[in-house]
Chains A and B, each alone.
Chain A
Amino acid sequence: GESVGLHLPTLSVQEGDNSIINCAYSNSASDYFIWYKQESGKGPQFIIDIRSNMDKRQGQRVTVLLNKTVKHLSLQIAATQPGDSAVYFCAENMNSGYALNFGKGTSLLVTP
């Protein structure tokens, strides 16, 4: 079965609001997590990553939070813009191996 999943398949937010996309994982051996954004007709685009020895990491308008106790990962997007509309995937890497295990994806729709 899939060890990485998302709580909400779709999320609709108003422009300017903050967005939170959640992800649950089940493998406590996962030591690296990554968020990708995929726009229609394009390949996944790296957003931000976090290692298991961290709880929080910030980028430009994005923050990733990792809660290892409950095996939960979230992506926060500040001041969401129309260009943020896309499908967002979380992915985990286990034991520093080759493969990324992707979650199902959340479709983010930003309305004016």
Chain B
Amino acid sequence: DTEVTQTPKHLVMGMTNKKSLKCEQHMGHRAMYWYKQKAKKPPELMFVYSYEKLSINESVPSRFSPECPNSSLLNLHLHALQPEDSALYLCASSRTGQGSYEQYFGPGTRLTVT
């Protein structure tokens, strides 16, 4: 099983809403990632969790709050977002947090902030 699943597939939220994105993998990977992708652009790294601990935060605004409840799950809590936060949010996982191992991506959550 080389699948990373993400829910929901689509999300529309107002600027005052609180919502969460969910990601799950059962490949035994110990590193999980959140990326943001705008249209016609490459994915941009937001957060990295390694062994359930936050390893990298790429200067992401605090309105994005990641959480890793266990080695298979990764959440992204959203609060007070701006319209410019509308994008495709991708989750990925890899065997370890150290590089040279391919990252497997989920299908993404298409987020629209109104």
Contacts and interface: CB of A to CB of B under 8 A. Distances in A.
A94 B104 CA distance: 18
Contact of B100 (A42, A46, A93): A93
Interface in A2-58: 31-32, 34, 36, 41-46, 49, 51
Contact of A98 (B43, B55, B104): B55
Nearest to B99: A93
Interface residues of A, number: 26
B99 A97 contact: yes
Contacts of B50: 98
Interface of B: 4, 6, 31, 33, 40-45, 48, 50, 55-56, 90, 92, 97-100, 102-108
Given A98-B31, A104-B42, A44 B90 contact: yes
Interface of A: 31-32, 34, 36, 41-46, 49, 51, 89, 91, 93-100, 102-105
Nearest to B44: A102
Nearest to B55: A98
Contacts, number: 64
Given A46-B103, A105-B41, 19 more contacts: A32-B100, A36-B105, A43-B4, A43-B105, A43-B107, A43-B108, A44-B90, A46-B102, A49-B102, A89-B42, A89-B43, A95-B99, A96-B99, A96-B100, A98-B56, A98-B98, A100-B99, A100-B103, A105-B40
A42 B98 contact: no
A17 to B, nearest CB: 25
